[in-house]
Structure 1
Amino acid sequence: MTLKWLFRDRMLAIGISIFALIVIAMLIGPFFVPNDPLEMSMSQRLQSPSFEYPLGTDFFGRCIFSRLIEGAKITFGLAAIVLVAALCIGVPVGLLSGYIGGRVDAIFMRLVDGLIAFPDFILAIAIAGFLGPNLTNVIIAIVVVKWVSYARVVRSCVLAEKEKDYVVAARLNGSSTSKIIVKHLTPHVISQIAILASLDLGKIILIISSLSYLGIGAQPPTPEWGAMLNDARPYFQTMPSLMLYPGLAIMLVVLSCNLIGDGLRESFDIKK
């Protein structure tokens, strides 16, 4: 896979560029503005942008830019954990369910059907609310609702591949089930997993921020983007920038993930 291949699609190139800029800002931002995102100074509250505070300060005198950068680390870190956990559960389930079939497939798919019957966000709110308001429970709640999509997609791919000649030949040659799944079937689902994961990353970040905005996720003074939106609500009319900055950050990340996902889908389209 070359850079030329990645950037031949305009939307994919734009998505990768936006995402890369956000990651670069997240990594190098603290070196330019070394303010403590949790340090409060009531004498500096609600300040306009300045050299010391590039985006101003909030109602507790905390540096908004530092909190955005630290919030990016928290939000991206949580989303990465959720995504990896969902992949580790959903992909093996989909592979086993699709290839083995029978009772194994029936059990897994009934569980998947039961979870997918509810909207992701509503089910995540219910689970997180039941477990209690903290980030660990948010991770558990989102993983529970997200692994099912990977299981269904992978199962569909395996069902389409397992009766093809190369898989039948592998079985006739005495290859074990695990070898067939790992060596022959897994490479055929990687592209679909990559597309779904890139689209899902934006959705996961949106769910994390939404749960924090509702008070179920990150708790004050944690500088998570959704929590920052929630904290800034009382000041929306007097200082709307307090909500504008984290809102734009969420929008740009979700937009870049969607552009990357759509671009990958176009690039992997074998019919083109």
Structure 2
Amino acid sequence: MNGGLLVEDLTVTVGGRRIVDHVGLEIAQGKAMVVLGESGSGKSVTARAILGLLGRRFSVSGHVTFNGGPLTLGRDVGLVPQDHTAALDPLRRIGAQIGEVLRHHGIVGSRSQAKGRALGLLGLAGVRDAERVARAYPHELSGGLRQRALIAVAVACGPRLLVADEPTSALDVTVQAKVLDLLRGLGTTLLMITHDIGVARLVGDTVAVMSEGRIVEYGEARDVLGLPGHPYTRRLLDAEPRPGVPRGALAGGLA
């Protein structure tokens, strides 16, 4: 693969227990992959292992490259975490937090430059009143605006890879759709972690279904979600709420 993210034979163990088992993923440059699975399937651990963010108690092996070279955190990789309440500093204004990222990576040299760039990034993240949001503390904003602020932080340095771990799980359906449209429209290589089949349908070019630390099904989104081949994937699809359709009537009737 000439460009994009390549993960080969990724394995994670903790306390003698293997929680990610020989995972392989490939995302073409500019495309979006969704890793889909239930809570505890190993998908978030996989994402953090790819980024090198697991603690010392975890043993990680395998090979990760991006655009043909080693993947390192910094200007090339942006992370949109799941918990916007924990990821934002409650004692600092939103604009100052974005500006700190810009100055830390040498994108801007002065506070005035950082302020102007922060406003532009908030606008890119779909914030209409960027001036007000930049002056606000996190607790003064809705969940949707806090998540958009995190997206502004994640894309501040123009990353070529964006990793989003359940970025809409705490948002209502209307705000979810807007945030997903925003992430998909950035044109960046995207790795999305989610338990939500609806999110996978909206975002993924490809989908990897994960269960008990293993990839059990992997392919084009329309194939995996339209004609699933693995019983676990069929069970996930069968459990997806559908108006007017009783459980067990989808995906071959598996309960």
Normalising by structure 2, report the TM-score.
Answer: 0.27
Normalising by structure 1, report the TM-score.
Answer: 0.26
> Hey, which of these two has a bigger chunk of helix by percent?
1
